[in-house]
Structure formats: structure tokens, C-alpha cells
């Protein structure tokens, strides 16, 4: 049949509607066990009021047919899905692994499953994902925002979808947010470099439209200003953090007559690339990175970082989400978790050249 679908380009529309491969239902089980439908339901759900003998008969029928309760139908009836959604930027990013896992653990403790998807830093994809999750009636949503306007979630929140934003604040709506102290962490990290004698300090960060990136840049500027150091434009690089771009940025600020003697790297990806670039330099350049990276202590020198606790971010957010669902929470709040400066050598190098 030529179905002329007008806007059938939405995800869920693309799978066709073949039935489950003929799965047994409670009705089938009931027929086989010679009992009523509701009795099967009672057995499946461990409700009281079934004689051991009847229960045994039902159980046998269940085993024989390979019955498994259809939670979709159950959800329709009960109104709760016991699942929460997580919209993050990139599952493959080592920063989000622990965060994701922490959210999952909390969900598990509350008997909920986790559905997650990556926005790939694309606001439109974030929205598409979040709304798809809402259509599935997740009980709650943990969002690591890619966009800066979340008014599209207003009807959902009003309808009772618990919502918590992590890592970056929500845009244009009032909602729970759990953040790291990006500003303070960056400021301290840069101040650390200044304390070790640096004055020409480079900053390589992500696009400033990303909240964390903007905050870290603000921290950098604050530390410099506190020390009375005027920042030169060419010390700063703000843009995509792919290796090619970062490498060029680093090499540029390390070239010329008065190169930077230290670099502050705005996130884990930047840090990794900068470490590579610095390894190729003839003179030592100090480095402090935002986000911890694995094996940072084993490099020569060890990489000094401003570490944030990704797991704590996820855990805190998820716990807050379930407290929203409990009804114990009313007022949206902004929670800021502290960062920690871990000195390993690279940030304590004195200025060279």
C-alpha cells in the first residue's frame, strides 16, 4: 500500500507495525491453567488471595508457554513506566561514562531502567531525543543540555515529568540543575599557574555557547585579572575541540617572539591533544587541564588537573530526580559541586624561555 506519509520522518514512525511474534498473553495462560484472567495477574504480580494449588497450576502454564508480562500494557494501565531518560552529549566520552553509570545505579536502586541517547552537541537532536523519551512516558529526564532553550519541555514538566539538568544549566526555564563549579575550578587552576610564576598563560576551550566553556573562560579571565595580568587575544582559543584545531591553536600560542609559558586546557579532550603537542616542544611548558584523565599521573611530567567528579554529578542529579518523583521536592534548585585541583607536576613547572 503506498502510504503517503506527510511527515513520517519521525523516528518511531519508521518501524512498521508487525505484531509481536505471537506471544502468549495472560488470557492464554488463564485458558491453559483453567483459571480466570485476573487470577493469572495475581500470580504474576505476587498478589495475595491465590491458593498454593492454583498458583502452582498457573505457574506451570506460565513456564510452559514462556509467558512474560507485557509491560507496555501494564504501563498504560498504571501510568508509571519505571524508567528514566538520560540525554547526554556523547556516550563514548570518558567523562560521561561514570556519570551515566551513576545515574543508572540510582535508577536501579529505585527500580527503574535507564534509556539514554547522545545529542552529539546538537540542540535539535537533544530536543528530538528528549521529546521521544517523553512520548514514551519516562517518569523523569536527566538532561545534559546541548541547546540553550528548553521551553519545549515546559508542557512535559507541567505534566509531571521530573526533570534535572546536569553539567550545564537549563535555558529559559526554571528547573533543577546540578553543576560543577566551573568558574571557580578554572580560576583556581589558572591561579595555580600564576602562583608558579607564569604570566603569559594560554587558554584553549570549547565554543563559548557551551555554558561550561564560558564559565571556565570566565574563571581564566578572573584569575588573570586578580593577578593584574592583561590578557592578550592571541592567548585564547575558543572553538571546536577536535584535535586538529586544538593542535593548531596550541602551536600558534607557543610560537612567535613572546610565546605562552603555560596552557590551561578547557576540557579533557583539549588536555589530551595539548599533552601531545607539548611532548613535541623543546622547552618545558606548564599545563593544567580541566577534567581528570586516565593515566595522567604516569605521563612525564604528570598532568596537573582540575578534576570534577562525574559520578557525583550523575548521582546527585538522579537522586534529586527521584526526590521530585517522591514529591519531597518542590522548588527548583541550583546545586554546585566543588572541583579539586590535583597537582602532578605539569602545573608546577616554572616558566621557561
Partner DNA sequence: TAGAGCCTGGACAACGTTGTCAGATGCGCG
Partner DNA sequence: CGCGCATCTGACAACGTTGTCCAGGCTCTA
Residues 82-121 contacting DNA, CB under 7 A: none
Shortest Å, Cβ 17 to DNA: 5
Among residues 77, 282, 294, 331, the one that binds DNA under rule CB under 7 A: 77
User: Judged by CB under 8 A, which stretch of 18-26, 202-210, 248-256, 258-266 contacts its own copies?
Assistant: 18-26
| Closer Cβ to DNA, 39 or 304, answer by number | 39
Q: Which of 50, 65, 227, 329 binds DNA (CB under 7 A)?
A: 50
Q: Which of 39, 54, 118, 304 binds its own copies (CB under 8 A)?
A: 118
Q: Does 45 bind DNA (CB under 7 A)?
A: yes
- Residue 44 interacting with DNA (CB under 7 A): yes
Minimum Å distance from CB 107 to its own copies? 9
Q: Which does 66 bind (CB under 5 to 8 A by kind): DNA, its own copies, none?
A: its own copies
The verdict on 134 binding its own copies (CB under 8 A) reads yes
Q: SS in 3 state form for the chain? A: CCCCCCCCCCHHHCCCCCCCCCCCCHHHHHHHHCCCHHHHHHHHCCCCCCCHHHHHHHHHHHHHHCCCCCHHHHHHHHCCCCEEEEEECCCCCCCHHHHHHHHHHHHHHCCCEEEEEECCCCHHHHHHHHHHHHHCCCCEEEECCCCCCCHHHHHHHHCCCEEEEECCCCCCCCCEEEEECHHHHHHHHHHHHHHCCCCCEEEEECCCCCHHHHHHHHHHHHHHHHCCCCCCHHHEEECCCCHHHHHHHHHHHHCCCCCCCEEEECCHHHHHHHHHHHHHCCCCCEEEEECCCCCHHHCCCECEEEECCHHHHHHHHHHHHHHHHHCCCCCCCEEEECCEEECCECCCCCCCC
Residue 115 phi/psi, 5° resolution?
-110, 125
Does position 158 interact with DNA (CB under 7 A)? The reply is: no
Cβ-based nearer residue to DNA, 70 or 281? 70
User: Which residue lies nearer to DNA by CB, 139 or 291?
Assistant: 139
113 makes contact, choosing from DNA, its own copies, none, with CB < 5 to 8 Å by partner type, with its own copies
Q: Which stretch binds its own copies (CB under 8 A): 199-207, 219-227, 275-283, 338-346?
A: 275-283
Least distance CB 336 / its own copies (angstroms): 23
Torsion of CA 258, 263, 264, 270, to 10 degrees: 120
27 binds, among its own copies, DNA, none (CB under 5 to 8 A by kind): DNA
What is the grid cell recorded at 160?
509531571
Is residue 20 near DNA by the rule CB under 7 A?
Answer: yes
Of 19 and 331, CB closest to its own copies = 19
18 part of the interface to DNA, by CB under 7 A: no
Q: Is residue 317 a contact residue for its own copies (CB under 8 A)? A: no
Grid cell, residue 45, equals 504480580
The item of its own copies, DNA, none sharing an interface with residue 36, based on CB under 5 to 8 Å by kind, is DNA
51 binds, among its own copies, DNA, none (CB under 5 to 8 A by kind): DNA
Q: Which of residues 159-178 bind its own copies (CB under 8 A)?
A: 159-160
- Binds 228: which of its own copies, DNA, none (CB < 5-8 Å by kind): none
Of these, 39, 54, 100, 182, which contacts its own copies (CB under 8 A)? 100
Query: Smallest distance, Å, CB 100 to its own copies?
Result: 5
Q: Does 48 bind DNA (CB under 7 A)?
A: yes
Long-range contacts of 121-125 (CB under 8 A, 24+ apart): 121/89, 121/90, 121/146, 121/210, 122/146, 123/147, 123/148, 123/149
Amino acid at each position: 500500500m503506498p502510504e503517503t506519509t506527510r511527515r513520517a520522518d519521525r523516528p518511531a514512525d519508521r518501524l512498521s507495525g508487525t505484531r509481536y511474534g505471537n506471544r502468549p498473553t495472560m488470557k492464554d495462560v488463564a485458558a491453559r491453567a483453567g483459571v480466570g484472567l485476573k487470577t493469572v495477574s495475581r500470580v504474576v504480580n505476587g498478589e495475595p488471595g491465590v491458593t498454593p494449588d492454583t498458583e502452582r497450576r498457573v505457574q506451570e502454564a506460565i513456564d510452559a508457554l514462556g509467558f512474560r508480562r507485557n509491560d507496555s500494557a501494564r504501563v498504560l494501565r498504571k501510568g508509571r513506566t519505571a524508567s528514566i531518560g538520560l540525554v547526554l552529549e556523547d556516550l563514548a566520552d570518558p567523562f560521561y561514562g561514570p556519570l551515566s553509570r551513576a545515574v543508572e545505579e540510582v535508577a536501579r536502586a529505585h527500580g527503574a531502567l535507564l534509556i539514554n541517547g547522545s545529542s552529539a552537541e546538537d540542540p535539535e537532536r537533544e530536543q528530538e531525543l528528549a521529546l521521544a523519551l517523553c512520548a514514551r512516558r519516562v517518569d523523569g529526564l536527566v538532561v545534559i543540555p546541548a541547546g540553550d532553550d528548553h521551553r519545549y519541555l515546559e508542557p512535559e514538566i507541567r505534566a509531571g515529568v521530573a526533570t534535572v539538568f546536569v553539567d550545564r544549566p537549563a535555558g529559559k526555564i526554571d528547573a533543577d540543575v546540578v553543576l560543577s563549579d566551573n568558574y571557580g575550578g578554572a580560576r583556581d587552576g589558572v591561579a595555580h599557574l600564576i602562583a608558579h610564576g607564569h604570566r603569559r598563560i594560554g587558554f584553549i576551550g570549547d565554543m563559548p555557547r557551551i555554558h561550561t566553556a564560558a564559565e571556565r573562560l570566565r574563571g581564566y579571565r578572573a584569575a588573570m585579572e586578580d593577578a593584574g595580568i592583561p590578557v592578550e587575544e592571541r592567548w585564547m582559543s575558543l572553538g571546536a575541540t577536535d584535535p586538529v584545531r586544538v593542535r593548531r591553536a596550541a602551536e600558534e600560542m607557543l610560537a612567535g617572539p613572546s610565546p605562552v609559558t603555560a596552557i590551561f586546557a578547557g576540557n579533557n579532550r583539549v588536555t589530551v591533544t595539548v599533552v601531545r603537542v607539548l611532548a613535541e616542544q623543546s622547552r618545558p611548558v606548564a599545563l593544567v587541564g580541566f577534567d581528570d584523565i586516565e593515566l595522567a599521573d604516569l605521563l612525564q611530567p604528570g598532568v596537573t588537573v582540575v578534576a570534577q567528579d562525574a559520578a557525583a554529578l550523575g548521582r546527585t542529579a538522579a537522586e534529586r530526580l527521584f526526590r521530585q518523583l517522591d514529591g519531597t521536592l518542590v522548588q527548583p534548585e541550583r546545586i554546585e559541586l566543588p572541583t579539586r585541583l590535583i597537582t602532578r607536576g605539569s602545573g608546577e613547572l616554572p616558566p621557561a624561555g
